């Protein structure tokens, strides 16, 4: 069974383009993988910022952690498990002030953990979550995606690559303020291409 994790970070519960397009993409993937299991992770639901207590617990060997330290890491453990179990990751990422929302950064800080999603080696850091596919749905009012003033998209690519997810595809809807229809049409076309590609991939896997 294909497992899909959808992480959403828009501060808008209604009327959010990143949420709408992410939902369309998840529905598309669900149609391709009829038995897909969907996990919805709301990054805006008061994810805590890491603090000194969290860092101390994180760097304490698991067998040596106190009850309080285990509690401090409980949510992080859940988020890491969701990510480890997912075959496909969908991230809804509106651009706020040229970068990602603080809630999405909080999610990143809670899942990027040495020994869990990456490890240090003599050759440098090594991601531990290889073999996954990620789709990042990036929306913006005016910042062109992958332009010199877009600090969201490159950051998300880097983070995912860092933890071993190097198969990353962007679904972009930028310039929504001045060209909403054109921007959404571009994003919807990207989702259609993803449907075609995922369908072909699923058929090849079945044939094999």
pLDDT over 70 (residue 191): yes
State the pLDDT at residue 157: 98
State the pLDDT at residue 45: 74
State the pLDDT at residue 70: 97
Q: Please measure the distance between the N-terminal and C-terminal CA atoms of the chain and give it in whole angstroms.
A: 16
**Is 140 labeled as ligand-binding?**
yes
Q: Which residue has the tokens 């959404």?
A: 184
**Is 17 labeled as ligand-binding?**
yes
State the pLDDT at residue 206: 56
**Is 142 labeled as ligand-binding?**
yes
State the pLDDT at residue 13: 87
pLDDT over 60 (residue 128): yes
**Is 16 labeled as ligand-binding?**
yes
Q: What average pLDDT does the segment 116-127 reach?
A: 96
* CATH 3.40.50.360 is right for the domain spanning 3-207: yes
Angle between helices 17-32 and 180-207 (to 10 degrees): 20
**Is 139 labeled as ligand-binding?**
yes
**Is 183 labeled as ligand-binding?**
no
pLDDT over 60 (residue 55): yes
Query: 87 CB contacts (<8 Å, ≥6 apart)?
Result: 2, 3, 4, 132, 133
């Amino acid at each position: 069974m294909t497992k899909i994790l959808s992480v959403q970070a828009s501060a808008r519960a209604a009327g959010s383009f990143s949420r709408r397009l992410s939902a369309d993409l998840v529905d598309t993937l669900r149609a391709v993988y009829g038995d897909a299991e969907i996990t919805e992770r709301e990054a805006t639901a008061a994810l805590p910022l890491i603090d000194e207590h969290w860092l101390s617990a994180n760097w304490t060997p698991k067998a040596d952690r106190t009850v309080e330290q285990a509690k401090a890491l409980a949510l992080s453990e859940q988020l890491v498990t969701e990510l480890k179990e997912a075959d496909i990751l969908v991230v809804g990422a509106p651009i706020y002030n040229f970068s990602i929302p603080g809630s999405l950064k909080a999610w990143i800080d809670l899942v990027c953990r040495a020994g869990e999603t990456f490890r240090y080696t003599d050759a440098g850091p090594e991601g531990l979550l290889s073999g996954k596919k990620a789709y990042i749905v990036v929306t913006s009012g005016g910042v062109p995606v992958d332009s010199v003033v877009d600090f969201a998209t490159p950051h998300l690519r880097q983070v995912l690559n860092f933890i071993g997810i190097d198969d990353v595809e962007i679904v972009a809807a930028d310039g929504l303020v001045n060209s909403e229809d054109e921007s959404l049409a571009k994003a919807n076309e990207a989702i259609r291409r993803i449907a075609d590609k995922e369908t072909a991939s699923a058929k090849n896997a079945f044939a094999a």
